[in-house]
Structure 1
Amino acid sequence: MVCLFGVRGKLQQERKDAPRTALAAEVRAGLVWMWRQHFLRAVMAAVAVSNVLFQGLNLAVMSGIQSAGGTEFQVGVVLSLSGAGGLVGALSGGRWTERLSMRALVIGGLAVWALLMVPVAVLRDPYALGAIFALSGYVGGVFNVAGGVYLVRIAPDSMRGRANSLAMLVGGGAMAAGPVAAGFALEGLGPTRTILGLSLAMAVTALAALISPALRRGPFAAAD
């Protein structure tokens, strides 16, 4: 809340008094606008998949630490370091958006995540896992800032609320599937194989983003 006092300039255009349209019509207009944004739609899909995988990874890591004799405190340390990395990533996200295009950030971030997941399959030391989760959280923080800035810049003033709500619904709603899928995998495969499977799925997601026509046609230049 303190940071909000540092924001300068108007955050919304002046609007003329106009009759409100039906809620269903407004929702439909937001969905139509978002569907026509091919690059943004592809990014949302990649983020939704990665959210599913990371929720599954969290559950698999918790199971792996406890099966190796770890404590709940150690599990908390790992997850807390992930949050700390996300905070640092968010604070430095603006610098990344100035230096790299949104396309490069998406593909590069997914590739880094895929690489970071692999050692998680064999590590059981909570502090080593915490360091990896901090790096993963850092990438996620940069993602959140870059995606938010990009969405605000391309969405018309009248669509920003609806576009942001839809992005949050897709990205956040997908998280519910991660623990469920990981739970079945853990029962049948155990933590190590489950995490390796999640790593492979993340690598496939990064590859799909690399060859995606929508992302290839996306913005190449860094944000102005």
Structure 2
Amino acid sequence: MATHPKETASATGPQQPVSLWRNRDYLLLWLGQAASSLGTSCTQFAFPLLIVGLTRSIAAAGLAYSLGQLPYVLLSLPAGALVDRWPRKRVMIICTFCLMVCVASIPLALFLTSGPLRLLLLYAIAFGLGAISLFDELVELAARAWVVPKSQLPTAVAQNELIVGSCALVGPALGSLLFSISRLLPFVTDALSSLILLGSLFFIRSPMQDERRRERHHLLLEVREGLTWLWEHQVVCSLLLISSYINLTITASVLLVLDIVQQQHIPSVLYGLIVAVGGVGNLLGAALCPPMLRRIRFGLTLRCALIVFVFVFPLYGFITTPLLLGAVFAGIALADSVRAVFMDSYRFAVVPDALQGRVSGLYRLILFSVLTIGSSALGLSLEHLGVLPTVGIVWSGLLLITGFLFLSRHMRQATFPQD
């Protein structure tokens, strides 16, 4: 059985975990994912532009986006169970190769087909990218939780958030530049970035998982095992409910800013700057998380993050200037980044290695289901009720979950697990 990086102890007592910068497998995984994430952000920016350019229809681009998200609702439960069954390293290599093939097939679809057949093929590619990305994300989350000791998980999750935030800032600009040169160039760049990740995976030595039991049960029984574990662990279950609502709140924040910008006739350049300031807030929050965890208790940090939401979010109902909008958007993004890093780190540290895929699958199923339904409800509320009533509705939910966080004994006593 492979030696787990968390099991580093000498005869005289436990040793300090090796620094993440000296953890070879973690660095290979992290750097490979960084290159791949930048390529993915280029595709995510360019693909809707490509669909609109071919069809002259925003609705067609929206359908492609929905098809890419659909697997997260349909397949999260079985995907989580299958990821827990299969060898993680092999699954990551296969998923990376399949993603590379899917992205590379976009230029081929443009060259080899035309008319309705071309559009149908692009829709199929969008669904395929979503399905493979789901498996890839689940196995990558579980693998990172294995190669990193529990005490270093917040730092690892924060570093991953820094990569995601940086790609969110740089990716659209890079994708726009590449698309202006050639509409195929963003997808070629993404395919090449997958090659970098593929190379890094081949150099990882560890299996990135504990030894698995040999017996196999029916897939539904294994899904039920994950559901049972989640239901019996009140803190993790509560974190899921809180995360679902906070993610919906972030979606509401984006829609509110967009609605206010349109109502106040704020130039699109300033709207872009407001969104960019939010990205800076995300990066700052991720950078603050590791030192915060060393000084502030887990439960207290979550309560402080939700308090920021409660006090800052209502300002959307009253502000109209770009400067204040940017400040509010950045404050909420910072609080959300801190909340996400702490919650994800806690979940990865608590969930048994053999259940990481199933629990993460359950998380994605509920999060994406809430976002799918909630986003439509928010749009209808903004259209028929307006900004201030929508802010009031979302704020009422924030008050409820913040009150729950303060009153729940399990949440107040929750501490981050140590090695």
Above 0.5 in TM-score? yes
1:59 corresponds, among 237, 255, 269, to: 255
State yes or no: 1:160 paired with 2:356.
Answer: yes
CA distance in 2, matches of 1:100, 1:170: 29
Q: CA RMSD in A?
A: 2.6
- Whole-Å separation in 1 of the counterparts to 2:250 and 2:303: 17
Q: Report how many aligned residue pairs link the two structures.
A: 222
CA distance in 1, matches of 2:344, 2:311: 25
Q: Indicate which of 391, 397, 411 corresponds to 1:195.
A: 391
**d(CA) in 1 for partners of 2:306, 2:386:** 24
SS of structure 1 residue aligned to 2:254 = helix
Deviation at 1:13, TM superposition (A): 4.5
| 8 Å CA contact 1:77, 1:127 repeated in 2 | no
Identity score, percent = 22
Q: Which residue of 2 is the match for residue 175 of structure 1? A: 371
Counterpart check, 1:139 vs 2:335:
yes
Task: Choose 1 or 2 for highest CA Rg.
Answer: 2
**SS where residue 82 of structure 1 aligns?**
helix
Per-residue CA deviations over 1:122-163 (Å, capped at 9, x if unaligned) read 111223211221121111111221112111211111011222
| Residues 1-46 of structure 1: CA deviation (Å, up to 9, x unaligned) | 8772598666844415614333222211111111111011112111
3-state SS of paired residue (2:385): helix
Which has the bigger relative contact order, CA under 8 A and spacing at least 6? 1
Could you report, residue by residue, the CA deviation over 1:177-202 in whole angstroms, capped at 9, with x for unpaired residues?
33322222223332133223322331
Cα pair 1:113 1:202 within 8 Å, conserved: yes
Residue 68 (structure 1) shift: 1.0
2:131 maps to 1:105: no
Tell me by how many angstroms 1:49 deviates: 1.4
TM-superposed deviation, 1:108: 1.8
Task: Compute the TM-score of the two structures, normalised by the length of structure 2.
Answer: 0.48
Pick the aligned partner of 1:4 from 8, 13, 30. Answer: 30
- CA–CA distance in 1 between the matches of 2:210 and 2:416? 29
- Structure 2 CA distance for aligned equivalents of residues 17 and 223 of structure 1: 25
CA separation of 1:2 and 1:125: change in aligned 2, threshold 3 A = farther
**Please, which of 396, 400, 407 is the counterpart of residue 211 of structure 1?**
407
Which residue of 129, 133, 158 maps to 2:325? Answer: 129
Q: Is the 8 A contact 1:99 1:222 kept in 2?
A: no
Q: Provide the secondary structure at the position in 1 that maps to 2:386.
A: helix
Structure 2 matches for 1:36-75, cutoff 5 A?
36-75=232-271
Correspondence for 2:272:
76
Unaligned runs of 5+ in 2: 1-26, 33-143, 149-205
Q: Which moved more, 1:29-38 or 1:83-92?
A: 83-92
Shift, 1:102, TM fit:
2.5
Distance 1:222 1:14, change over 3 A: closer
Relative to structure 1, is the Cα distance of residues 210 and 188 closer, same or farther in structure 2, using a 3 angstrom cutoff?
same
